Amino acid sequence: MEVRLEDVWFSYDGRRYVLKSINMEIKGGGLHVVMGPNGSGKTTLLKILSLIYKPTRGSVIVDGRSYWDLGPAERDLVRHHIVYVHDKPILLRGDVWYNVSLGLKLRGFNNYDYLEELIKRYGISELLKSSSRSLSAGQRRLVSIIRVLALKPRVLVLDEPFNHLDSSRVKMLLEDIIAMAESSLVVIATHYVVRELRDNAVKMYELVEGSLRG
């Protein structure tokens, strides 16, 4: 899958641009890392790459077609292959099993083997019957990440995925992200730039005051 941003600008209020003349191309498989301070526009950029936000100006080209010029049905088909994980995990009412398995259910998948493997790997088996409201910040993060890893999407976009995780689970997540990037596109925005990311990234980007470097 290929996603290309061509001269993309974005404004929330129609006056101040939080993204300015962004040109970026991600395709095939591989890991892309976006760095930048708070307020630089990283989350906005990820939401445009994930086809959640429409640019104020410029084009988003997906597999050679202008995404926002497609009809609603075609956009839904394309968007189905891209999964975005918010910097603040979004969980629904219900227990952990309901939340962690929700993505598979919504897509009509019946194979839960990999999900169960991830649950054991990240050590949340004892939480499956717990209410999502009772979870700590780190536990909420794990649920949101395991939910999307189980889908094995063609494009996975993660916003600050390492926040609130202990060192052992950060290591696990790094391993899983790098493995997934062998066949999928993975885009990460993070302050947590470690050697594993630098060594395995196809490209590193720096976003400063809405402008992209790299």
What confidence tens digit (pLDDT) does each residue in 58-83 have?
Answer: 999 999 999 999 999 999 999 999 99
pLDDT of residue 108: 87
Which residue ranges make up each domain of the chain? 2-213
pLDDT of residue 192: 78
CA-wise closest residue to 26 among 172, 154, 171: 154
pLDDT of residue 214: 62
CA-wise closest residue to 5 among 153, 179, 157: 157
What confidence tens digit (pLDDT) does each residue in 83-140 have?
Answer: 999 998 889 999 999 999 999 999 888 889 999 999 999 999 999 999 999 999 999 9
- How far, in Å, are 88, 133, 167 from residue 96 at the CA level? 17, 9, 22
- Residue 180, pLDDT > 70, answer yes
Q: Please return the burial class of 211, using the count of CB atoms within 10 Å of its CB with bins 0-12, 13-18 and 19+.
A: middle
pLDDT of residue 12: 96
- CATH tag for 2-213 (out of 3.40.630.30, 1.10.10.10, 3.50.50.60, 3.40.50.300): 3.40.50.300
What confidence tens digit (pLDDT) does each residue in 89-102 have?
Answer: 889 999 999 999 99
* Range with the poorest average pLDDT among 6-10, 35-39, 142-146, 178-182: 35-39
> Taking all residues of the chain, what is their mean pLDDT, rounded to a whole number?
94
pLDDT of residue 110: 83
- Residue 29, pLDDT > 90, answer no
Question: What is residue 63's DSSP assignment?
Answer: T
